[in-house]
Amino acid sequence: MDIELNGIDGFAPPPFKIKSVEAIRLISREERERKINENGMNLFLLSSKDVYIDMLTDSGTSAMSDQQWAGIMTGDESYAGSGSFDHLASAVSDIMGFSYTLPAHQGRGAEQTFDKVLIKEGQIVPGNMHFDTTRAHIENVNGRAVDCVIDEAFDAGCELPFKGNIDIGKLEALVKKDPSRIAYILITATCNNGGGQPVSIENMRQTREISSKYKVPLFLDAARYAENAFFIKKREPGYADKRLREIAREMMSYMDGCIMSAKKDALVNIGGFIALNDKELYNRLAPVNVLMEGFPTYGGMSGRDMEAMAIGLYEGIDERYLAHRIGQVEYLAAKLDEAGVPLMKPFGGHAVYINGKEFMSHIPCENFPSQALCVECYLEGGIRGVEIGALLAGRDPDTGESICPKLDMMRLAAPRRVYMREHMDYVAEVVKSVFKRRNEIRGLDFEYESPIMRHFLSRLKWVEG
């Protein structure tokens, strides 16, 4: 047995050691109370110095390697023809198999360019479950984002191996009604809003069949493609002996291209890109990207960031690193599970998703149970998680009513290569302690509701009790 991949106790050891540390501090309970009240019970508005363990997001929060920092020093800052862009394009082509790379400052920059070119007014973008910025960009150009994920995705306790899969029947029914109304199909892997659940290779292949049959392009939201490849290796029959690079290549072989927020699996603090093989489409995208992001050989990124990204793409698909990373998330989830905390199952790749609806079953949806849980975890131990529930879901564009989503969760996202097992032990103790006194916790109401993507900027207050 390979200890580096499986560990001695079932959890793979970290394939790195620490060269530089950053101090963190737990401010007092009184200070935490003051800070969260001053910031309208919204953890996005807190200053990071007032947070002890920051699990708000795994996006842009990775610790870069010494190799990446070395790359920062050798980045080529030329406006046009940067050598660092060549390194990035070559890494994308080598790992993903796409010939054309268009950089963007982050995922939503890529989405903005992409949707401006690919979506005509009134067109539909079906997918498994779109991420919130993805949906917002589709709607921003008057398109419609439609989720076609399998029904089991909404059953938090259901232990299917690939709960991020598209329901092929639902997808085909939608596409065949009028293929000309479909701008493109998008698979998000792993499926962030569905609990970090992976998509199987078989499902990608079947989606490709639909895409080819109706002549509609298929793209991947590749933010966490490497974690998805790891789950395929672990869970899909026939893939246990394949290298992750081979699996990633096969995933991409079913796609016309991908859009990537590189702030996740490319282990960088900023950056993103669109990658594809169709030269004609590239030629339509590039001028728009010049307008929105920058010249095609930097697209909103500095040369040094592209250099670090080119290196990070290779490090992010390394199996020993992924075995440790996904094992760390599993370690935290298993501790909470043992204590009876209701969780999204199976455990996801980049985060532990706590079922806030069940944890706070006495708080109705309109009083944001998972947001109340996030606030309480901050008050209890200075932990910052994020709500993926009613607050994030926003309002129905047709009726204006607040949406009550089927899944209402608190996400504890693990930044890559940042925290140790001791941090996870601490987080588990804090959540367990909130769980013990959950029935005393009240819900929240708006003090101010932000009009777009309201979870970022809204302010809340405790309901009278």
Cβ-based nearer residue to ligand PM9, 106 or 302: 106
End-to-end Cα distance, the chain: 56
Decide: 215 and 179 in contact? Cβ < 8 Å: yes
State whether residue 148 is helix, strand or coil: coil
Least gap, CB of 369 to ligand PM9 (angstroms): 19
> How many whole angstroms separate alpha carbon 292 and alpha carbon 307?
22
Decide: is 231 part of the binding site for ligand PM9 (CB under 6 A).
no
Helix (H, G, I), strand (E, B) or coil at 183: coil
Piece in contact with ligand PM9 (CB under 6 A), picked from 131-139, 210-218, 239-247, 337-345 = 131-139
Q: Could you count the other beta carbons within 10 Å of the beta carbon of residue 391?
A: 25
Query: Which member of 42, 57, 68, 203 binds ligand PM9 (CB under 6 A)?
Result: 57
Classify residue 442 by burial, with Cβ atoms within 10 Å: 0-12, 13-18, 19+.
middle
Q: Which is nearer to ligand PM9, 87 or 350 (CB)?
A: 350
Among residues 50, 76, 132, 408, which one is catalytic? 132
Site string for ligand PM9, 377-416 (x = CB under 6 A): ----------------------------------------
Number of neighbours of residue 12 by Cβ within 10 angstroms:
24
For ligand PM9, the binding residues in 162-201 under the rule CB under 6 A are: 188, 192
> Segment 69-128, which members bind ligand PM9 (CB under 6 A)?
106-108
Alpha carbon distance 65, 311 (integer Å): 9
264 is catalytic: yes
Residue 304 backbone dihedrals phi, psi, to 5 degrees: -65, -35
**455 is known as an active-site residue:** yes
Residue in 71, 195, 257, 272 binding ligand PM9, rule: CB under 6 A: 272
Nearer to ligand PM9, 57 or 123 (CB): 57
Q: What number of chain residues touch ligand PM9 (CB under 6 A)?
A: 15
Applying CB under 6 A, does 134 fall inside the site for ligand PM9?
yes
List the one residue out of 32, 132, 54 whose CA is nearest residue 412.
Answer: 54
Considering only residues 200 to 219 of the shown chain, the ones binding ligand PM9 according to CB under 6 A are none
The rounded distance, in Å, linking the Cα atoms of 118 and 113 is: 9
Tokens of 66: 């010494």
Shortest reach from residue 106's CB to ligand PM9, in Å: 3
How many of the other CB atoms lie within 10 Å of CB of 137? 26
Kindly tell me the sign of the dihedral angle through the C-alpha atoms of 65, 69, 71, 72.
positive
Does residue 85 carry a catalytic annotation?
A: no
β-pairing, 459-462 vs 100-104, is unpaired
Q: Is 223 in the site for ligand PM9 (CB under 6 A)?
A: yes
Q: Least Å distance between CB 271 and ligand PM9?
A: 8
> Is residue 132 annotated as a catalytic residue, yes or no?
yes
> Which position among 87, 105, 163, 455 bears the catalytic label?
455
Q: Can 223 be counted among the known catalytic residues?
A: yes
* Residues catalogued as catalytic: 79, 131-132, 221, 223, 264, 455
Q: Which residues bind ligand PM9 (CB under 6 A)?
A: 57, 59, 106-108, 131, 133-134, 188, 192, 221, 223, 261, 263, 272
